[in-house]
């Protein structure tokens, strides 16, 4: 029979072997890919989380902007990264339609990723430069009916929820606008305030803090009025019942990230969202509603978004640009 000392020695040896097989995480810098240019909502939210994440995890956390193809290039880089917990991606609502728009995007939006957390949602705002004449969605619709295909509207890209929401509005209202896609929130906000487009639709954070100064908000797309914009009517209140949509932001890892690593990163994200300063900057400063929740809840949310908006893409025949 083995002695007690021998059993203890064998247990220690097995423990040491397991430790070597599963090295401690994190052991080095972590990158969060922001698949859009600097200055947009994805970049802004990622950078707001970094200080708290660094405190929780004890390693440097860097935001890497990998823009292009409506977020597909950066998202593809994350899908192909080693599933070691050192690479994550902060996706925008365009992730829900990536494959419906482009089956050859270079990744499977479900299979190639491990959902971590739905960080936040926000109603989108349909805005116009202060110098334009419209003060309501009804006035825009009337002007568009009088002069079809002359009024332009900008979004963060073809197939984004902003673009799809405007497609639904035009279909329901019987009017026609000209879509101008940009390469992210930063370029869109610049174009909007300069008057390059007649209308711009994005979340408040995506519009760069210009709402109420150089941009006039006409309507918000949430099912109910946002607490941060209680005087701004919803799309439903403006004559389009049943039309509601919200932008969202969430974190994914490459498929195959170890469960323990994913759980720890999710806990670090939750701790960051609970920081009073972070909450204030997100809710009051950027106009988003913090969500949080579990990886499973985010996975179910993505499934619903992909089903609903993928149907709009197919029905309207929308293609990636």
Beta bridge partners of 31: 62, 87
If we measure between CA atoms, which residue out of 261, 292, 257 comes closest to residue 78? Answer: 257
pLDDT digits (tens, 9 = 90+) for 245-265: 999 999 999 999 999 999 999
CATH code for the domain in which residue 228 is found: 3.40.190.10
Q: Are residues 165 and 219 in the same domain?
A: yes
Q: Are residues 116 and 253 in the same domain?
A: yes
The domain in which residue 157 lies consists of: 123-246
Beta bridge partners of 36: none
pLDDT of residue 185: 82
Q: Domain ends where: 192, 220, 246?
A: 246
Domain count within the chain = 2
pLDDT of residue 321: 64
10 lies in a domain?
A: no
23 lies in a domain?
A: no
Q: Are residues 117 and 256 in the same domain?
A: yes
Q: Are residues 202 and 261 in the same domain?
A: no
Across the range 85-94, mean pLDDT stands at 95
149 CB-contact burial (10 Å; exposed 0-12 / middle 13-18 / buried 19+): exposed
Q: Domain ends where: 246, 268, 284?
A: 246
Q: Are residues 254 and 220 in the same domain?
A: no
C-alpha–C-alpha distance, residues 300 and 304, integer Å: 6
Do 113 and 253 touch, CB atoms closer than 8 A?
yes
299 lies in a domain?
A: yes
pLDDT of residue 296: 96
Q: Domain ends where: 220, 246, 272?
A: 246
Q: Are residues 90 and 194 in the same domain?
A: no
C-alpha–C-alpha distance, residues 135 and 255, integer Å: 46
* Top-confidence residue, 72 or 126: 126
């Amino acid at each position: 029979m083995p002695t007690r000392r021998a059993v203890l020695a064998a247990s220690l040896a097995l423990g040491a072997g397991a430790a070597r097989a599963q090295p401690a995480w994190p052991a080095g810098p972590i990158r969060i890919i922001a698949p859009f240019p600097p200055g947009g909502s994805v970049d802004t939210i990622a950078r707001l989380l970094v200080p708290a994440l660094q405190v929780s995890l004890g390693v440097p956390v860097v935001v890497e902007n990998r823009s292009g193809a409506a977020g597909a290039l950066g998202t593809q880089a994350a899908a192909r990264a080693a599933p070691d917990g050192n690479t994550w991606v902060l996706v925008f609502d365009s992730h829900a339609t990536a494959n419906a728009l482009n089956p050859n995007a270079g990744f499977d939006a479900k299979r190639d990723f491990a959902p971590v957390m739905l960080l936040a949602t926000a109603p989108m705002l349909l805005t116009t430069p202060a110098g334009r004449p419209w003060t309501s969605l009804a006035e825009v619709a009337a002007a568009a009916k009088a002069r079809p295909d002359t009024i332009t509207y900008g979004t963060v890209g073809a197939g984004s929820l902003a673009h799809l929401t405007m497609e639904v509005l035009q279909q329901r209202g019987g009017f026609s606008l000209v879509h101008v896609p940009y390469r992210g929130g930063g370029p869109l906000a610049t174009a909007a305030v300069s008057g390059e487009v007649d209308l711009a639709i994005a979340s408040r954070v995506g519009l760069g803090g210009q709402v109420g100064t150089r941009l006039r908000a006409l309507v918000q797309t949430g099912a109910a009025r946002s607490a941060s914009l209680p005087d701004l009517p919803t799309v439903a209140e403006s004559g389009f019942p049943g039309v509601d949509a919200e932008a969202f932001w969430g974190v994914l890892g490459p498929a195959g990230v170890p469960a323990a690593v994913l759980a720890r990163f999710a806990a670090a994200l939750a701790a960051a969202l609970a920081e009073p300063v972070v909450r204030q900057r997100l809710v009051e400063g950027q106009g988003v509603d913090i969500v949080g929740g579990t990886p499973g809840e985010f996975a179910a949310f993505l499934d619903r978004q992909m089903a609903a908006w993928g149907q709009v893409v197919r029905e309207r025949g929308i293609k990636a640009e």
